[in-house]
Amino acid sequence: MPDLPGDALRLSVWSGPRNVSTALMYSFRQRPDTSVVDEPFYGHYLAFTGVDHPGRAEVLGDMETGPEAVIRDTILGGSETRVRFFKNMAHHLAGLDRSFLDQVTNVLLVRDPRLMLPSLAEKIPTPVLRDTGLLEQVEILEYLLASGDAPIVLDSATLLRDPRAVLSGLCCRLGLPFYGEMLSWPAGPKPEDGIWAKYWYRNVHASTGFAAPRKRPPPVPKRLEPLLLECLELYGRLEEHAIPAGG
């Protein structure tokens, strides 16, 4: 565990979009020792890349867009709780000095692109590889391996099949106690939600726990088949290190 101001475990979960990351944030929010932060680098990402996401102007007007300030004040700043959970999108690392990764505990949350891409296309009709975060997730994986760290890779399908076993195993890997309260949460918006929640969180706001995984993947739109092939190769590399149920 990094020895940082506030003596907190700074847990940075690097996800892609539509990977059950908000549900995982809500799960950790239920812990009595944890506070959560929703996508602190989103403003930077929109400003740096110029991409047009739903609610772009609102997000830019609401958030700190300077990455150095986000790292200093939010990621590495003091914490009033033992655990500080950061829900991060991996592609929000664009243009960042990544040396701060050495000062946080990193978890990679992945999802089969055959499930992720149809969901992403509902919000971004013509996604490109940059929108998936998979390339950055693999870069984080390789960075951790080169540093001698044992990467923690969590597959959302495994999590949804057996939330208790997977969360128990994850907590064990992190040196934390497991709390049964992590398995459910109240429906509706949460105070920590980003201002973009109204565009992206409709389903998770209706939930009170981890939903069972879909038995049959929805069809991937034909226009996205070339992107799917790129994504599957990257996902395969991440899956090599995914932890099984129970950790």
The structural domain count of the chain equals: 1
pTM: 0.93
pLDDT per residue as tens digits for the range 164-183: 999 999 999 999 999 999 99
User: What percentage of the chain has pLDDT greater than the value 90?
Assistant: 82
Tell me, yes or no, whether 244 lies in a domain.
no
Tell me, yes or no, whether 85 lies in a domain.
yes
Tell me, yes or no, whether 160 lies in a domain.
yes
Helices 113-123 and 225-239: crossing angle in degrees, nearest 10, is 130
Tell me, yes or no, whether 245 lies in a domain.
no
CATH number of the domain within which 57 lies? 3.40.50.300
Tell me, yes or no, whether 74 lies in a domain.
yes
Tell me, yes or no, whether 246 lies in a domain.
no
Residue numbers of the domain that contains 169: 5-239
Euclidean distance between CA atoms 92 and 81, whole angstroms: 25
Burial class of residue 147 in the structure, from the number of CB atoms within 10 Å of its CB (0-12 exposed, 13-18 middle, 19+ buried): exposed
What's the rounded mean pLDDT across residues 138-167?
Answer: 94
pLDDT per residue as tens digits for the range 178-230: 999 999 999 999 999 999 999 999 999 999 999 988 777 788 999 999 999 99
pLDDT per residue as tens digits for the range 42-60: 999 999 999 998 899 999 9
Is beta strand 9-15 parallel, antiparallel or unpaired with respect to 105-110?
parallel
pLDDT per residue as tens digits for the range 92-105: 999 999 999 999 99
